[in-house]
Amino acid sequence: MTDTPAVDSETPAAAEGRPATRRKALRILALVVVTIAALWGIWYFLTQAGRVSTDNAYVGADSAAVTALVSGPVKEVRVSGTQAVKKGDVLVILDDADQRIALADAEAALRQARQRYGQASANADAARARVSARGADIAQARARLRDADAAVAKARAELARREGLAGTGAVSGEELTAARTAFASASAARDLAAAAIASAEATRGSASGDLGAAEAVVRGTTIETAPDVAAAQARLEKAQLDLERTIIRAPVAGIVTNRQVQVGQRIAAGAPIMVIVPIATAYVDANYKESQFRKIRIGQPVELTSDYYGGDVVYHGKVIGIAGGTGAAFSLIPAQNATGNWVKVVQRLPVRIALDPKELQAHPLRVGLSMEATIDTRGK
């Protein structure tokens, strides 16, 4: 019995089918790759096109520096660093002994000024009464002058009659002498009455001058608008304000940082004692390259993430401002690009981004934290 040769199990038809199957698989793979690329392109065009990003962004806030407005020793410190405070909360209390003494002195000065004004008003009334009295004296002196004129006229007539009869012997020398004496006496009384009028008028003039001086102090004013009273009132209000300022309150709500005050320390007016960071109104300053600004506009929406919370927390904000110059332009020593060893450096321009207050309240940030900001330049 002879051995028969082994027959190859792979037929020619199967051998020819392998390349066709490989080509079909490659076509399917190419189709899948093209589909994935097309889908990625559509996704990028719909979601990523027109978006500019930077990780050179940091949280900022308009911090409030708390300063003492009056000097004095520190009596009590009610807050510590990192403590959250509300607007109006008491931060520091100063010893107010000096301010209370100044307030009492200002109150006494105001009472004294009011008293002086009352005296000046009374003096004006008294001067006015004296002027009226001198007017009455003048009227009385003029009446006496009229009586004296009448007496002079009568004495002159008696003297003339007796002098006319003296040559006839009907009038004795004694009667004639008496008539002449009466006339001289009446003339003297008239001169005295005229002098009394002049004296009364002079006295009234002096009284009028005193009245003018007294009225000048109170003319056109009341006890509230008199200069001395108003100045004393202003000093009193300042003393009251200084007393109120011995209690230092939080100007804004935020977190206390950089506390520099201790109990017993004497602080001067204007000395900074702490800083309050209003984290509820924090913003982000994102520094974009100058080549990214072609489509950046104010009001465009922004998405932000923070290393503090990770990528799971996304903040939403909008562009509210673009700086007027780069950081290099306003640095202490600006770059001198006119030198021969100039090397071009891509500059960055700060963009101010406002955050959603509700998101900021849910996930508070701290000043100086790093952020990643993406502006959708397709937004208006």
Q: Are 190 and 146 in contact (CB under 8 A)?
A: no
Q: H helices of 57-172, where? A: 97-165
Query: Residue 84 gets which letter from DSSP?
Result: E
- The domain ranges of the chain are 51-62+279-376, 64-96+244-276, 99-240
With CA atoms as reference, report the closest residue to 255 among 278, 271, 273: 278
How many whole angstroms separate alpha carbon 73 and alpha carbon 264? 6
Q: Where are the beta strands (DSSP E) in the chain?
A: 51-60, 64-67, 72-77, 84-85, 90-94, 247-249, 254-257, 266-267, 272-277, 283-289, 301-306, 310-322, 348-355, 370-376
Tokens of 233: 């009132």
Tokens of 189: 């009384």
Tokens of 40: 């990625």
378: Cβ–Cβ under 8 A, 6 or more apart, which residues?
A: 49, 50
DSSP letters for 132-145: HHHHHHHHHHHHHH
Q: What is the pLDDT of residues 131-176, one digit of tens each?
A: 676 677 677 777 777 777 787 777 777 767 766 666 666 666 677 6
Distances (CA, A) of 257 to 71, 264, 266, 307: 22, 20, 20, 22
pLDDT value of position 272: 92
**H/E run at residue 318:** strand 310-322
Tokens of 53: 């990003």
Q: What are phi and psi of 296, to 5 degrees?
A: -75, 130
List the Cα angle 305/311/316 in 5-degree steps: 35
Positions of the chain with pLDDT lower than 70, given as ranges: 1-18, 42-50, 127, 130-131, 133-134, 137, 159, 162-173, 176, 206-220, 332, 336-340, 379-380
How many whole angstroms separate alpha carbon 186 and alpha carbon 150? 9
Fold entry, domain 64-96+244-276: OB fold (Dihydrolipoamide Acetyltransferase, E2P) (2.40.50)
- Domain 99-240: state its class: mainly alpha
Q: What is the pLDDT of residues 89-140, one digit of tens each?
A: 999 999 999 999 999 999 999 999 888 877 777 777 776 776 676 677 677 7
Kindly tell me the burial class for residue 352, based on how many C-beta atoms sit within 10 Å of its own C-beta (0-12, 13-18, 19 or more): middle
Tokens of 245: 């300022």
- Count how many Cα atoms sit within 13 Å of the Cα of residue 107 in the half-sphere of its side chain: 7
What is the CATH architecture assignment of 51-62+279-376?
A: Beta Barrel (2.40)
Would you mind telling me the total number of residues written for the chain in this entry?
380
Q: Are 252 and 65 in contact (CB under 8 A)?
A: no
Determine what percent of the chain falls in helix, strand and coil, rounding each to the nearest 5: 50, 20, 30
Q: Are 349 and 324 in contact (CB under 8 A)?
A: no
Query: Residue 6 gets which letter from DSSP?
Result: P
Helix axes 227-244, 97-165, angle to 10 degrees: 170
